[in-house]
Amino acid sequence: MTALSQQYDQRMRKDTRIRRLVTLFGGGILVLLLVIVWHLVSQTAPLFISPSFEKAQTFDFPDRIVLSVGDILEDGLLVQQASPCGIETAQVSEQNKVVDRILKPCTHSLSIREERDQRWLFDISANGQVRIQGIDGDNATYAFALPETDWQQRLETDYAISLPHIAIRVTTASQHLIFWVDTRRLTDIHKDEYPASDAVVLLPGQQKVVTFQGRKIALTERGRESRQTYQHDYPINWIGRIENSRSLYVSDRSGKVERWVVVNKSGRFEYVKTYSLFLEDNEQPLTVQAHANTNAGFVLTDMGRLILFNRVSGELLDIIQLVDIPISWSWYGNRLYLVYPGKVDVWTINNLAGVNTPTSLFVPQWYEGYLGPEHVYQTSSGRDFNEAKYALIPLLMGSLKAALAALVVAIPVSIGAAIYTGFFTTRRWRKSIKPAIEMLEAVPSVVIGFIAAVALAPVADKLLTSLLLFIVTLPLLLFVVALFQHRIAVKMPTRLRFGADIAAITLCTLVWAGLSLYVADSVMPIEIFSGSSKTTLIVAIALGLAISSTIYTLAEDAIESVPSGLKNASFALGATRLQTLRNIVLRVAMPGLIAAVMLGFGRAFGETMIVLMVTGNTPIPSWDLFESLRALTANIAIELPEADTGGALYSVLFFTALTLFIFTFIVNTVAEWLRYGMREKVKYD
Amino acid sequence: MIRPISPQQRQSLVINACAFATATLLLALVALVGYMTWRGSAFIWPDPIYLVQYNEPDGEVKQAYAQWHKGAADNSTVRLSVSTSSRPYQTQSILDASQFLFSEEVEQAAQIELVDGRTILAVPAAVSDVNNAQLPLSELSVQTRSEDIIDRRIAYIRRVELARLHENIAIYNRREVEAEAPGRLQLEKAYAALQEELRLLEKKQQAYTLTVRFYDGETFSIQLADIARITYPSTMSLPDKAKAAAISLWYFLTDSPKQANTAGGVFPALFGTVVMVFLMTIIVAPFGVLAAVYLHEYAPKNPFTAMLRICVSNMAAVPSIVYGVFGLGFMVYTLGGQIDSLFFADTLPNPTMGAPGLFWAAATMALLTLPVVIVATEEGLSRVPNSLRMGSYALGATKFETVWRTVLPIASPSMMTGLILAIARAAGEVAPLMLVGAVRFAPDLPIDGTFPYFHLDRQFMHLGVLIYDGAFNSQPDTKGAAMMFAACSLLLLVVLILNIVAVVLRTRLRERYQ
Amino acid sequence: MLKLFDYEKTDVSQLTDEQTAIKVSGLNLKFGKKQVLHNINLRIPKNQITAFIGQSGCGKSTLLSCFNRMNDLAGDCKVSGKILVHGRNVYSKRENVSKLRASVGMVFQKPNPFPMNIYDNVSYGLKLQGRVVRREMDDAVEQALKDAALWDEVKERLFEPASILSGGQQQRLVIARALALKPSILLLDEPTSALDPLTTLIIEELMGALKKRCTIVIVTHNMQQAARVSDYTAFLHQGEVVEYSDSDSLFTLPQKKQTEDYITGRYG
């Protein structure tokens, strides 16, 4: 007996163990969902946290003069003064081992300029012989000669390089001499003269020079043939440019710094004002620098303030007060190196991806080259100093456009079919038709997309015209048949009567569709549609087909589950089937129908393959049905494999994924609630 | 004049409209499947070879052996696949209807399919051996058979015997046996002998060539070793054609893709799909079934359980690409990165599990199909009459015993239905896979003869991804597109069959417990 | 003295502990907020057939289900009081419910054989207990089927599915299934209400034979059945025991008016 008792206890214990295990798995569902949400949110979070400066470390170089630094934390080189004259590059990570040394006579003027990650040494001899050579990267060397007399009269010089153009400013007592050199034709040096009263900024990339005095700004081309003038509202005290010269920053005495961007106004390149940054009274920028692959930029002012900002939207992100003003600076990734005479301070920027604030994703931004603020989505790669354009509105509009167009196609078809099989036909027909339509649900979307892209898209023109013809004539056809249908139907044997409906219609549809395809070319000219993108139409058809089955299943369920007691009551009062449908069935089934449409919409919004394969995937923020589109989902599929983990694009893509998740969550919950409510209502049957 | 519409006629109009909607959906389904199968079968059904005469744009009249293309879009252009002496490997030619002169079927012309996937249309003239002696054409079949035997022997040597020797040598290396040891010397001798045999076989393989002639009289030599198959499609009767189509189908299923997915077969993609689905089933089945059992048998009726059900329903509605994003961000980068730093630190910075691969793809698809399995299993559990449970409890069974012995066996067909639906979904879903491990071309299969045999970190090919790639890269009317259509048909067929099986299972179940 | 009725008549209120199979003391049961059983006190005598009768919803099935704690499965059930089965309080926290249910068998209104063959049905409970020796199991199955008076009808087709049996045969199969565990108490919840009169008689005869080896408690709404079959009858009304005595007395000379009204069909 005891053994048996033991056995019972054993069984109970096993039962408890298993119960714990199963509960674990049950709770695991919730855990999974939470993990998914948490992960999406955590990867999106950087967008919502503002970037900030943090002092990382200081490299002391007490025994040398540091001229410029590369990315020394990532094995970059340091450029220091060589003795007696010249420069040396040293590897900081290897105990400052000297890698290269370029000695020059001390009578030469040496200067280092950086453009797009490449540093150049400008070496000009006493008599104007110029030698420009690349430091630690491009090893090119360019040699040419400036006029000796001009050179020897110099009081001040400035250099700028943007291959293949080089500009050198020699300021004498009375004028600024600007020498333009093209590396492709080094002997051909062009000299322009400007009055010394103007302040000059070189824009070598565009072969232009900005001069300003008082409130006037002038942009003059090399050769002084073309000139644009602008009037500013305050006297200007400084103008700076960023790496690609497509943006200028104009600082005036009111403490305002305005960003001007270049635009193409009917063939001419001009600058227009965008936003303003506000400094303290009497504060003036020393430099404005752009980040190589995000939209960040910083302003270093003469009061020692370092301002981090989004250079497209103008939003200020972080401001710190430096103790001293650095003599040179470099910016790599999230590391900002500030060079002082005997040391280099390294500042890290936390959460640099946060430069793309949520506002910048949804509000129109004014990018370089655009005539006004616009929603633009265009990703760039590498360190090319291009502005990252992450407007999400075009993608949202694309997804909405595709989903709504699909609904326009899907709703009439699926609801009509649901009414037909759920209400009008007999049980026998329903048993055969319903599973057939539900098979459509099983077709993989990649297959639908394939057929749409490969078979439908090439004949889109013809398809569009024949479709229009078909739709226009269809009501007429249905009407004509309807006039006679009832009379013929009552004469037919009962068994065939219901089937005759669908058989006749199927036949007619086939015949008429075929006819309209043939006839379309001659009736309507196809050319009215050529030239515009018909991808939205094809997407509407393909996506509509894909979601039709979803909507059909749920709508049919709703209609069929209307209690027969209600329907019979209506019939008993003499109502026709149509009247019963309108007054009773649709009214009762309405929540279910709405839920079906909502779920179909959710599915269309979240569908990837069809929009990816059929549309041109160009993110155009337009509701025009004849423009291509890019959907939110397709965007993720295209961009995510190439995005750097933790970068701005990565966070933006996760943000879109989170949006999709939340959207479908809400739609699905509301739809389920509607369906639940409907089921409760009809439960008494 | 216009009579008002009677209620009957109004009703008929509405019925017609609804019937039209139904017809549209049914026709769409039929058209989809039918079109796909038609275009796909063009890939395996033999095309007769014609002698075609047409005008070149420069006015010249050309005659060549060609095959027509099915699926040509409209009546004004003619698409041919032509073999000429200047361009022996079938090239596409698009002609305007006006350029076309005449065509007639040619019986002597053969379709010569090469091992690398290209095809030549020409008349075989003679077979020559290494000494250039001409042999009669009747010898061709004999020679091709002996070539086959040589091919198989070479493949066997490479795959089995050499591989075995490699392994043994590797074992010796690991044990650091010295170079002079008799065992090792023996291995090396065997190795050398096999290499020599291979060399001789390969020489023999390349000995024979087939000379073919194009219409313009020019001849062309093909090495017999390069020929995969020679058929005479113009001479085939219907049973012959069916047989040839069956052989083509076999090649389609077992060959690798060649010539940028326009020739060959889909075997790697098929294999990759099957392996991934298998792995996914192993992951999702226990989780899904246990979760469903919890929800239906163990969970108390409180708001928490209702919330769990909402979770399941929402997980089913989440767009598949979001699962791909989660799979890439969390599974591949986070989990995979952790696994790499713990177990594979010596191969860093090259990622092992920290990069998209087979395992993560299977895990992501398991997550995607989890709701399907849970819902189907729960449906099955709910169809078990409660009286059976009561009977089991009354005999003293614990809850686990009741579930395990009584409930689950009855619900197992529903579980199967759920798994089948999950498999169908995984075979057809592409979006998340593109992010977590399926690639357009993978050099190796995920399972092969090298340790550890089951490569969970490898990237693999998938049928759906192949089709996606095909849509972007192929033009609609080339012969290459035919292979893509065939792949599409295959995928569609597999998915539809799985779904039909699942539906039949489910219907039979419903009737059983009515 | 001519004994007109030949049986042992014991006054239910005088039962000793040895003669009691189940002793119910102060049993109150609530489903959620609704109190279904009020302060039930009674003793079920050993090796006799006791019947619970009463209107629908009076709580007789609920009371029956307390004896093998099947009520636990109905959810949100709160029980206070004691039920002593062979001296052991089945509602104590340390009670092994599986063990209890193996020794207190139950048969339900609608026959519920498992979708297995006859042999597996009967041996289900035995398999749970881990007895896997084939010979022993065969013997136990045979004995159980004989005890349920089904053996002769199914001995040739032990391995055919239970669904081939008729309703009456299935009910006997279910009884055999319970008997295989050699329970000391057998609870029957309206066991014949789904069966035809002929089969009902067979099962009633079976009960008579079975009471020699176990105590039988039966719930029935068929008073004639209760009068035919049971030795003792309890009449319940709205969760209370109105009257409980030996069947003869209850049906011929009911003490309470309520009982009399029910028996004579004035309500119920």
Q: C interface mutation test: which of B297, B301, B395 has the most C CBs within 10 A?
A: B395
Between helices B7-44 and B479-512, what is the axis angle to 10°? 120
Considering only the beta carbons, identify the residue of A21, A613, A664 that sits closest to B319: A664
Residue A463, domain member (yes or no): yes
**C114 → chain B, closest CA residue:** B388
Residue of B nearest to A459 (CA): B73
Integer Cα distance of A647 and A664 in angstroms: 26
Is-contact C78 C53, C-beta < 8 A?
no
Q: What is the pLDDT of residue B69?
A: 65
Q: Write the CA distances from B88 to B104, B109, B119, integer angstroms.
A: 20, 13, 8
In this prediction, residue A685 carries a pLDDT of 46
Give, in order, the Cα–Cα distances in Å from B184 to each of B160, B161, B190, B193: 19, 16, 10, 14
For the record, the structure tokens of C111 come out as 């026959």
Return d(Cα B456, Cα B363) in angstroms, integer. 11
CA of A489 to nearest chain C CA: how many angstroms apart? 47
Q: What distance in Å separates the CA atoms of residue A184 and residue A164, rounded to the nearest whole number?
A: 7
The stretch B149-160 carries a mean pLDDT of: 78
Cα A213 to Cα A197, A284, A338, A663: the distances in Å are: 7, 16, 31, 55
**Residue A647 above 90 pLDDT?**
no
CA distance B208 to chain A (A): 42
Do C96 and A4 lie within an 8 Å CB cutoff? no
The β-bridge partners of A141 are: A133
Asked if A19's CB is within 8 angstroms of B400's CB, the reply is: yes
User: In the structure, what pLDDT confidence band is assigned to residue C1 with cuts at 50, 70 and 90?
Assistant: very low
With an 8 Å Cβ cutoff, are A413 and B293 in contact? Answer: no
CATH (domain of C173): 3.40.50.300
What local confidence, expressed as pLDDT, does residue B220 receive? 81
Q: Is the pLDDT higher at C179 or at B99?
A: C179
Contact B398 C100 (CB under 8 A): no
Give me the domain span that covers residue C41. 18-263
Mean pLDDT for all residues in chain B: 82
Instruction: Extract the tokens encoding A669.
Output: 């919950």
Closest residue, chain A, to B370 (C-alpha): A29
Q: Which residues in chain B are contacts of C70 at CB distance < 8 A? A: 390, 393-394
Q: Which residue has the tokens 């990570």?
A: A93
Kindly give, in sequence order, each residue whose CB lies less than 8 Å from that of residue B37, ignoring residues fewer than 6 positions away. Answer: B489
pLDDT at A502 over 80: no
Q: What is the pLDDT of residues B211-222, one digit of tens each?
A: 888 877 778 888
Closest residue on chain C to B386 (Cα): C112
Render pLDDT for B113-127 as a digit per residue (tens, 0 to 9). Answer: 888 878 888 888 777
Cβ distance of B468 and A446 shorter than 8 Å: yes
Q: Does C98 touch chain B (CB under 8 A)?
A: yes
Burial state string for A61-89 with b = 16 or more CB within 10 A and e = fewer than 16: beebebbbbbebbeebbbbbebeeebbbb
Strand C185-189 to C215-219 pairing? parallel
- Could you tell me if C129 lies within 8 Å of chain A, comparing CB atoms? yes
Range with the largest mean pLDDT of A129-133, A275-279, A675-679, B324-328: B324-328
Domain boundary among A342, A376, A410: A376
Do the domain assignments include residue A318? yes
Question: A306 and A338 share a domain?
Answer: yes
CB contact at 8 A, A46 and A651: yes
> What's residue C88's pLDDT?
86
pLDDT in tens, B451-507: 677 888 889 999 999 888 888 776 655 666 788 888 999 999 999 999 999 888 888
What mean pLDDT do residues A177-199 have?
87
- Say which residue, B330 or A136, is predicted with more confidence: B330
Nearest CA in chain B to A436: B26
Final residue belonging to a domain, choices A326, A347, A376: A376
- Contact between B381 and B297 under an 8 Å Cβ cutoff? The reply is yes
Whether A13 and chain B come into contact, CB under 8 Å, resolves to: no
Query: Is the CB of C162 inside 8 Å of chain B's CB atoms?
Result: no
Q: Could you tell me if A458 and A311 lie in one domain? A: no
Average pLDDT of chain A is 85
Q: Which chain A residues touch C129 with a CB distance below 8 Å?
A: 4, 7
Q: Which of B100-109, B268-277, C230-239 has the lowest mean pLDDT?
A: B100-109
Which of A376, A402, A426 is at the close of a domain? Answer: A376
Whether the pLDDT of residue B316 is over 80: the answer is: yes
Give the list of residues 6+ apart from residue B194 with CB closer than 8 angstroms, or none.
B157, B161, B162, B165
Question: Which residue in the set A26, A437, A660 is minimally distant from B298, CB to CB?
Answer: A26
Mean pLDDT of B16-44: 86
CA distance B294 to chain C (A): 16
∠ CA A677-A678-A681, nearest 5°, is 90
Q: Which residue has the higher pLDDT, A384 or C164?
A: C164
ipTM, 2 decimals? 0.86
What's the rounded Cα separation, in Å, for the pair B306 and B310? 6
- The CA distance from A611 to A588, in Å, is 35
Tell me phi and psi for residue C184, to 5 degrees.
Answer: -90, -20
**Please, which residues 625-664 of chain A have a Cβ atom closer than 8 Å to chain B?**
633, 636-637, 640-641, 645, 653-654, 657, 660-661, 664
Per-range mean pLDDT, top range of A200-214, A309-323, A424-438: A309-323
A422 in contact with chain B, both atoms CB, cutoff 8 A: no
Residues A370 and A441 occupy one common structural domain: no
- The answer to whether residue A69 is domain-embedded is no
pLDDT value of residue A444:
92
Determine, yes or no, domain membership for C115: yes
User: pLDDT, tens digit, for every residue of A205-223?
Assistant: 888 888 888 888 888 888 8
User: What span, in angstroms and rounded, lies between the C-alpha atoms of A17 and A380?
Assistant: 56
**Record: contact B391-C112, CB cut-off 8 A:** yes
What residues of chain C, 109 to 128, have a C-beta less than 8 Å from chain A?
128
| A269 and A412 fall within a common domain | no
Question: Do A364 and A398 lie in a common domain?
Answer: no
Are the beta carbons of A222 and A268 closer than 8 angstroms? no
Task: Give the span between the Cα atoms of C173 and C149, in whole angstroms.
Answer: 9
Nearest Cα to Cα of residue C40 among C256, C238, C201: C238
Q: Nearest CB to C98: which of B300, B396, B410?
A: B396
Chains in contact with B, where contact requires at least 3 CB pairs less than 8 Å apart: A, C
**What average pLDDT does the segment B137-148 reach?**
71
* CA-based nearest residue to C101, from C11, C44, C177: C177
Chains adjacent to C (≥3 CB pairs closer than 8 angstroms)? A, B
Does the structure show a pLDDT above 80 at C21? Answer: yes
Sign, CA dihedral A344-A349-A353-A358, equals negative
Question: Residue B357 is encoded by which pair of tokens?
Answer: 């691969």
Q: Are strands A216-221 and A227-231 parallel, antiparallel or unpaired?
A: antiparallel
Percent of chain C with pLDDT over 90: 28
Percentage of residues in chain A having pLDDT higher than 90: 23
- A365 & A417 share domain: no
> CA B343 from chain center: how many Å?
33
Report the alpha-carbon distance of residue A648 to residue B334 in Å, rounded: 18
Is there a single domain that holds both residue A570 and residue A637?
A: yes
Q: Mean pLDDT lowest for which of A369-373, B220-224, C52-56, C145-149?
A: B220-224
How many CA within 13 A on the CB side of residue A567? 18
**Domain check: are A356 and A403 in the same one?**
no
DSSP assignment, residue A455?
A: I
- Judge if A366 and A420 occupy the same domain: no
pLDDT at B66 over 80: no
- Is A4 an 8 Å CB contact of chain C? yes
Tell me which residue in B73, B298, B435 faces A22 most closely, judged by beta carbons.
B298
Q: Which residues, 6+ apart, have CB-to-CB distance to A99 below 8 Å?
A: A77, A88, A89, A90, A91, A136
Q: Which residues of A touch B401 (CB under 8 A)?
A: 11, 15
pLDDT number for residue B138: 67
Cβ–Cβ gap B395/C181 under 8 Å: yes
- Give the integer Cα–Cα distance in Å for A668 and A603: 10
Instruction: Say if residue B169's pLDDT is above 80.
Output: no
pLDDT at A309: 92
Tell me whether residue C227 is in a domain. Answer: yes
Q: Give the position of tokens 């098929």.
A: B270
Contact A240, A280 (CB under 8 A): no
In whole angstroms, how far apart are CA B393 and each of A3, A625, A662, B386? Answer: 21, 64, 44, 11
Q: Do B387 and C112 touch (CB under 8 A)?
A: yes
Q: Which two tokens stand for residue B491?
A: 């995928």
Rounded to an integer, the average pLDDT of C117-122 is: 91
**Which pLDDT value is given to residue B1?**
42
For residue A414, being part of any structural domain is answered with: yes
pLDDT at residue number B280: 94
Contact residues for C57 (Cβ-Cβ < 8 A; gap 6+): none
Task: Give dist(CA C123, CA C103) in Å, integer.
Answer: 15
Residues of A in contact with B294 (CB under 8 A): 22-23, 25-27
**Cα C246 to Cα C234: distance, rounded to the nearest angstrom:** 8
Interchain contact, C101 vs B401, CB within 8 Å: no
User: Among the ranges A468-477, B88-97, B142-151, C123-132, which has the highest mean pLDDT value?
Assistant: C123-132
Q: Do residue A334 and residue A440 come from a single domain?
A: no
Tokens of B247: 């052989």
Chain A positions in Cβ-Cβ contact with residue C130 (cut-off 8 Å): 7
Range with lowest mean pLDDT among A262-266, A309-313, B68-72, B442-446: B68-72
pLDDT class of B74 with cuts at 50, 70, 90: low
pLDDT digits (tens, 9 = 90+) for B347-400: 777 788 888 989 999 999 999 999 999 999 998 898 888 999 999 999 988 899
* B139 touches B128 (CB < 8 A): no
The answer to whether B317 faces chain C, any CB pair under 8 Å, is no
Asked whether the beta carbons of residue A15 and residue B401 sit closer than 8 angstroms, the reply is yes
CATH at residue A479: 1.10.3720.10
Q: Do A529 and A675 belong together in one domain?
A: yes
Confidence at residue C176, expressed as pLDDT on a 0 to 100 scale: 92
Using the beta-carbon criterion (under 8 Å), do A7 and C96 form an inter-chain contact? Answer: no
Please check whether residues A294 and A414 belong to one and the same domain: no
Asked if A11 and B395 count as a contact pair (C-beta separation under 8 A), the reply is no
For residue A485, how many C-alpha atoms fall within 13 Å in the half-sphere facing its CB? 29
In this prediction, residues A582-598 reach a mean pLDDT of: 88
Residue type at position A505:
I
Beta-carbon pairs below 8 A across chains A and C: 15
Residue window 273-302, chain B: list those with CB within 8 Å of chain C: 300-301
Which secondary-structure segment (H or E) carries A389? strand A389-390
Distance, CA of C188 to CA of C184 (rounded, Å): 13
Q: What is the pLDDT of residues B318-327, one digit of tens each?
A: 999 999 999 9
| pLDDT tens track for A217-265 | 888 888 877 888 888 888 888 888 887 778 889 998 888 899 998 888 8
Which pLDDT value is given to residue A501? 66
Q: Find the mean pLDDT for residues A142-167.
A: 87
| Chain centre distance of CA B491 | 7
Identify the three-state secondary structure at position A187: strand
Does B330 score more than 90 pLDDT? yes
Phi, psi of C103 (to 5 degrees): -95, -10
Tens digit of each residue's pLDDT (9 = 90 or more) over C177-217: 999 998 999 999 999 888 888 889 989 999 989 988 899 99
DSSP states of A127-152: T-EEEEEEESS---EEEEE--HHHHH
Q: For residue A60, give its domain range.
A: 51-64+232-376
Establish if C25 belongs to a structural domain: yes
Q: Cβ contacts (< 8 Å) between B397 and chain C: which residues?
A: 98, 124-125, 128
Contact of A454 with chain B, judged by CB distance below 8 Å, is answered with yes
- pLDDT digit string (tens) for A95-131? 778 888 888 888 888 888 888 878 888 888 888 888 8
When CB atoms are compared, the residue of A7, A9, A12 closest to C130 is A7
How close C96 gets to chain A, by Cα (Å)?
7
Q: Confidence band (pLDDT; 50, 70, 90) for C3?
A: very low
Q: Nearest CA to CA, how far is B468 from chain A (Å)?
A: 7
Number of domains in chain A: 2
Residue B478: the pLDDT is 63
Helix axes A2-44, B358-382, angle to 10 degrees: 130
More confidently predicted of C100 and A483: C100
| Domain contains A118 | no
B405 touches chain C (CB under 8 A): yes
Amino acid in the structure at residue B359: F
- Report residue C173's pLDDT band, with 50, 70 and 90 as the boundaries: very high
